[in-house]
Structure 1
Amino acid sequence: MKKIIYFIIFFSFSLLFNSCGGDTTTQEEGEIEYKISYPKMDKKNFMLDFMPRKMVMKFKEDVYSTNLSAGMGMFRSSFICDQNNNQFIQQVKLINKKYALQLDGDGIKKSISKNPSFTVEHTTEIKNILGYNCKKAIVTVNNEKQDAFTVYYTDKIGLKTPNWCNEFADIDGVMLEYQYEKYDVCMRFTASKIEFKEIDDAEFEISKDYKLISEPEMDKEMKEIFESFN
């Protein structure tokens, strides 16, 4: 009887430790919640209160989507990166306007080439984020300012080459802390929660009520939105 009790206790603890994240898992379906901060924005800027404060990334079978919103849902933006079909989708909602951009293959490469490239210096430093021992990289933006920032990433979350569709292609892992700047707005993302669970396939589909527009048209819309935040 004692042996049975010991076995039950041992088995229960094994399940507990194997489900707590960290470097013991490479699960391939779930979501990551990121806290968003604005390192270059004046803390006294009243528009800071209207900026997105959270982003949610959902992933499944080497496909992922990122979603953020602001202004009590009046502004929403999402990206879908589907490596299996070599497809990138951006969706933007501003009050009653709903636009979508869809790029495939060479269109993705051409879009990335329009932005400043990144030089990545990999280091041996490690930072623990939510139980994951993340590798540190120093990223330098190849622009006039030569801006540099740190990135922390892990290869223990089951997304194959997750940065294939952006400028971070030299970072082979899921970034749990990183920085990105566009439309004169600098955003820093820091993972605050990771949960492995079933994700609905609908999360990776383009919404039918969004109007497909070209990349120049989408850039114009996004610039107007972020100019209002500045």
Structure 2
Amino acid sequence: MPFGLLISVFGYGQKIFSEGTIVYQVSTSVHGQPLQSDVKSFQQIKGSHTKVDLVSSVGKTTTIFNSREGEGAILQAYGAQKIMIPVTKENIQSRNSKFDHVVFEYLAETKNILQYNCTKAIATLEDGTQLEVFFSKELLTDNTDIGFQFGKLPGLALEFTSKLGERTVTYTATSINFEPVPIQNFDLPTSGYRLLNYDESQKKR
């Protein structure tokens, strides 16, 4: 794709989101009572490169991955503690494996998010867990490694809600920017982080 072609027309009313930034507001509630409201997720895409920052008042978790090279890292920075966990394509596939056999039920309910028409879907995972998703068929992506796509969702997810017991977490897109993302944004740090093996990091969860 030519550098200047940030949005390519896939069909009438459809665009390929191959480069840009999406910001999500992350809202958490327990028993219907709101908790944290200062959490945001920043998702940057540039071709095969993805970067997702989950930022709160207590720190930040960043996932950087290059699907073409099959490598990246998870960066955790909370207070004085800074950890880098190198990841491979297999690690990412394992982390997203819960979406491998997801079943979507498409509903008639719709809403408008950031001027995009969105359709509601219920995503049921293999373990029975369900998520509510509002996605727009007007926005497509050719990067299938985006976790927010929940597998084979036929459009970009602009809002999604998950429940774990009495805790409800909702991601809602608050902005979409199609401007070019500097390739340097996807560079991994070369110092300042303590290295931790991926398998060891899973044991600490």
Q: Does 1:54 align with 2:40?
A: yes
Q: Does 1:64 align with 2:54?
A: no
C-alpha separation between the residues in 1 aligned to 2:203 and 2:38?
20
Deviation at 1:203, TM superposition (A): 1.7
Cα displacement string for residues 3-55 of structure 1 (whole angstroms, at most 9, x for unaligned residues): xxxxxxxxxxxxxxxxxxxx4643532211111111446627xxx34x75211
Letter in 2 for 1:58: Q
Q: Does 1:120 align with 2:103?
A: yes
Letter in 2 for 1:109: Q
Equivalent positions of 1:201-212 (< 5 A) are: 201-209=183-191, 210-212=193-195
Structure whose alpha-carbon radius of gyration is higher: 1
Runs of 4+ in 1 over 4 A off after TM superposition: 115-118, 163-167
C-alpha separation between the residues in 1 aligned to 2:137 and 2:182?
24
Q: TM-score, normalised by structure 2?
A: 0.74
C-alpha separation between the residues in 1 aligned to 2:62 and 2:196?
15
Match of 1:93 in 2: 77
Deviation at 1:77, TM superposition (A): 0.7
Match of 2:18 in 1: 28
> Of the candidates 109, 128, 150, which is equivalent to residue 93 of structure 2?
109
> Of the candidates 61, 76, 80, which is equivalent to residue 60 of structure 2?
76
Contact 2:18 / 2:47 at 8 angstroms: preserved in 1? Answer: yes
Match of 1:169 in 2: 151
The 3-state SS of whatever aligns with 1:64 is strand
Task: Structure 1 unaligned segments of length 5 or more: list them.
Answer: 1-22, 224-230
Task: Structure 2 unaligned segments of length 5 or more: list them.
Answer: 1-12
C-alpha separation between the residues in 2 aligned to 1:135 and 1:62?
27
Q: Could you say what the CA RMSD is over the residues aligned between the two structures, in angstroms?
A: 3.2
Match of 1:218 in 2: 201
C-alpha separation between the residues in 2 aligned to 1:75 and 1:158?
31
C-alpha separation between the residues in 2 aligned to 1:69 and 1:109?
23
Deviation at 1:101, TM superposition (A): 1.8
> Of the candidates 131, 135, 139, which is equivalent to residue 123 of structure 2?
139
Contact 2:137 / 2:154 at 8 angstroms: preserved in 1? Answer: yes
Match of 2:9 in 1: none
Question: Greater CA deviation, 146-155 or 194-203?
Answer: 146-155
C-alpha separation between the residues in 1 aligned to 2:136 and 2:144?
11
Percent identity, please. 21
Q: Which has the higher helix share?
A: 1
Deviation at 1:124, TM superposition (A): 5.5
C-alpha separation between the residues in 2 aligned to 1:90 and 1:59?
16
Contact 1:118 / 1:167 at 8 angstroms: preserved in 2? Answer: no
Deviation at 1:169, TM superposition (A): 1.2
Change (3 A) 1:174 1:211: farther
Aligned length: 190
Letter in 2 for 1:151: V
C-alpha separation between the residues in 2 aligned to 1:105 and 1:173?
23
> Of the candidates 153, 163, 185, which is equivalent to residue 135 of structure 2?
153
